[in-house]
Amino acid sequence: MRVVVIGATGHVGGYLVPRLVAAGHEVVALSRGGRPHYRDDPAWERVSVVTVDREAEDAAGTFGERVAALSPDVVVDMVCFTPESAAQLVDAIRGTARLLVMCSTIWVHGALTALPVQEDEDLAPWGDYGIGKLAIERLLAQESDSPGGLPSLSLRPGHISGPGWPIINPAGNLDPAVWHKLATGEPLVLPGFGLGVLHHVHADDVAQAFELAVARGVERPLLAGRSYHVTSARAVTLRGFAEAAAAWFGQAAQLEFAPWNEFVASTTPEFAATTEAHISRSHAVSIDRARADLGYAPRYTSLEATHEALDWLIADGRVPQ
């Protein structure tokens, strides 16, 4: 099939585009940069690359038309953040494309009432990102259910991890000093009892899910309108993550647990806000639906995905020694 990937050069696109090429698809890659930022591959020599500023073209009302003019069988949209942007794309490719696969997020869930959460539970997000993504999912579900509507699938990655960029660490933020403390046996302060939860996923496992969605979504029209979690098989607690990471350095984690106000005082406002955003949600999601409908089988555990990413951060000099 002819597959147009919007936002093709980001974290996931560097893995997804080569997968689609290897599967025999004709791939058109749309992005602002033109080449993958995090991972190159010889498959890109067989890809048509289109440089585009989506934000500017959305504002001008021309982006959807640009995509439709590429005559896609399937559109994969990695970088849509508002229902208005999604509606413009859908209106333009309806009747042309056979399927739209949209990147959503596990942040469509708010406070969880049972673990692991299923796709249709606890859909009361807070924050513009999760609220916008849920609005997009609902727009696409309604579109899929409408006569003559464009079939779609929405995939919800967890905390995407892999070589090439910083990842959410055992304190639930991006502070490189956290890795240094674990590597050197220095005390690391965690909020509460360290039982906040993170659910990582390797970028290649996300790419696997999108590749499967492209094929299964066309083969099985009854899946249209559904949403799927895309994470590792199991989430990790901050404490468990910290203990595992310290062991990677040959250390035993020296953990100290503090009430929230004391934890905030131990770090910067920016890092504290990131931690709060993650542990106030403490996402742990079920991937049973993706396994059953798409055949999704994550290759990496949460710890394997983050370990590979950490190795890259160390090699790139981003972890203080």
222: in domain = yes
Domain count of the fold of the chain: 2
Q: In terms of domains, do 129 and 29 share one?
A: yes
Q: Is the peptide bond before 116 cis (omega within 30 degrees of 0)?
A: yes
12: domain CATH number?
Answer: 3.40.50.720
Is residue 146 included in any domain, yes or no? yes
For the entire predicted model, the pTM comes to: 0.97
Is residue 196 within 8 A of residue 238, CB to CB? The reply is yes
> What angle do helix axes 128-145 and 83-93 make, rounded to 10 degrees?
30
Q: Which two tokens stand for residue 48?
A: 């048509």
Query: Is residue 190 located within the same domain as residue 85?
Result: no
Q: 268: domain range? A: 162-199+234-283+300-315
Same domain membership, residue 145 and residue 73? yes
Q: Clarify whether residues 113 and 178 are in a common domain.
A: no
Whether 215 and 185 map to the same domain: the answer is no
Same domain, yes or no: 27 and 127: yes
Residues 277 and 148 in one domain: no
Same domain for 22 and 70? Answer: yes
Using an 8 Å Cβ cutoff, are 254 and 186 in contact?
A: yes
Nearest to 76 by CA among 155, 15, 134: 155
C-alpha pair distances (Å), 265 with each of 105, 150, 255, 269, 272: 30, 50, 16, 8, 9
65 and 22 together in one domain: yes
CATH number at residue 250: 3.90.25
Per-position pLDDT tens, the chain of length 321: 999 999 999 999 999 999 999 999 999 999 988 677 778 889 999 999 999 999 999 999 999 999 999 999 999 999 999 999 999 999 999 999 999 999 999 999 999 999 999 999 999 999 999 999 999 999 999 999 999 999 999 999 999 999 999 999 999 999 999 999 999 999 999 999 999 999 999 999 999 999 999 999 999 999 999 999 999 999 999 999 999 999 999 999 999 999 999 999 999 999 999 999 999 999 999 999 999 999 999 999 999 999 999 999 999 999 877
Q: Are 100 and 240 found together in one domain?
A: no
